[in-house]
Amino acid sequence: MVDTGMKIYFCGSIRGGRQLASDYQRIIEMLQQFGLVLTEHLGDDREIETKDRILTDVQIHNRDMDWVRESDMVVAEVTIPSLGVGYEIGRAIELGKPILCLFRSDSKFYLSAMIGGSENVTLARYKNLLQLPAPIEEFISKRAPRHTS
Amino acid sequence: MVDTGMKIYFCGSIRGGRQLASDYQRIIEMLQQFGLVLTEHLGDDREIETKDRILTDVQIHNRDMDWVRESDMVVAEVTIPSLGVGYEIGRAIELGKPILCLFRSDSKFYLSAMIGGSENVTLARYKNLLQLPAPIEEFISKRAPRHTS
């Protein structure tokens, strides 16, 4: 991980479905090129088990909201419909955070109009993970003043 | 519909899955005992087709967010994971709206910790629709100053 001082909050589905967990892990690794990913456990079921199963829902909620507030930006993988991901995006908008949403366009899922139609988020559609480094780098370099030299 | 002047924003899954559409319709009818349900089309696929298919995602998003702002309270059926429902709840919290979430506890779904653990929402778990009028009435009568006489 590069220590740029930048903090990134990554969102992906947990209780909504874990089919893309290994993709979340790859995306987290891409984001770690730019700064600290506060939710780096999200790509690994065993890590989630270790970190979250000992917590109540209130503790998980409050820890995650503290992280959203503390973050410089939010990056959300939005392919699998997830209440928690939608909730975090909604709250992050009102908190003024820059938000990048990533949607896998060849999936069986339909993207919510509330994400596809929100002018407060940047949306990147992709068909494979190799297409992600470019929009991620573009988003971060434009929106992270502490990252640009 | 009773004209109490109260406006209720009801949220349910659209693109996340329509398995509970007929339940949404029943819940909307319960809410209409207390005021105007701004999203009364949500229980009826044909109505959604008529109202939304002619709109872009940006138009749908902006109409729905205008309704959330205009509403006196938000009632969300949160059983089917939905990005849009989560997004609307997250934004409604920051806008200071009272929020009631309804979760069907005998479903195959797991409720997000971001909803189950949010101290900004009132959560009612239910096993059949007959259990809903009581928590709905309790929620509305406590939180709608214009409704209480």
Q: What is the largest CA-CA distance in chain B?
A: 41
Mark residue B96 as left, alpha or beta (left: phi above 0; alpha: psi -120 to 50; beta: remaining).
left
Q: Do B118 and A82 touch (CB under 8 A)?
A: no
Who's near A137: CB < 8 A, 6+ residues apart?
A: A34
Tokens of B73: 């309270």
pLDDT in tens, B69-111: 999 999 999 999 999 999 999 999 999 999 999 999 999 999 9
Phi first, then psi: give them for residue B102, nearest 5 degrees.
Answer: -115, 125
Interchain contact, A59 vs B119, CB within 8 Å: no
Place of tokens 């319960």: B30
Residues of chain A in contact with residue B89, where contact means CB-CB under 8 angstroms, are 83, 86-87, 90
| Least confident stretch, A74-83, A101-110, A115-124, A135-144 | A135-144
A47-51, A62-66, A86-90, B35-39 — which is least confidently predicted?
A: A47-51
Closest Cβ opposite residue A81 in set B81, B92, B115: B81
Instruction: Evaluate if residue A146 carries a pLDDT over 60.
Output: no
Residue A96 corresponds to which tokens in the numbers above? 């003024």
pLDDT at A62 exceeding the cut of 90: yes
Strands (E), B52-133: 73-77, 99-104, 122-126
Per-residue pLDDT, A51:
85
pLDDT at position B2 is 64
Mean pLDDT of A53-79: 97
Residues B141, B147: Cα–Cα separation, whole Å = 7
Determine what percent of chain A is predicted with pLDDT higher than 90. Answer: 87
Radius of gyration of chain B (CA): 14
The ipTM assigned to this model is 0.94
**pLDDT value for B146:** 52
CB atoms within 10 A of CB B147: 17
Nearest CA in chain A to B113: A57
B36-37 and B7-11: which strand pairing? parallel
Burial of B30 (0-12, 13-18, 19+ CB in 10 A): middle
Residue owning tokens 């199963």: A53
Burial class of B117 by CB neighbour count within 10 A (0 to 12, 13 to 18, 19+): buried
Evaluate whether B86 touches B64 at the Cβ level (below 8 Å): no
Tens digit of each residue's pLDDT (9 = 90 or more) over B26-66: 999 999 999 999 999 999 999 998 888 889 999 999 999 99
Instruction: Indicate the SS3 state at residue A31.
Output: helix
Beta-bridge partner residues of B9: B74
What pTM was computed for the model?
Answer: 0.94
Torsion sign (Cα): B9, B15, B18, B20: negative
Check B114 against A83: CB less than 8 A apart: yes
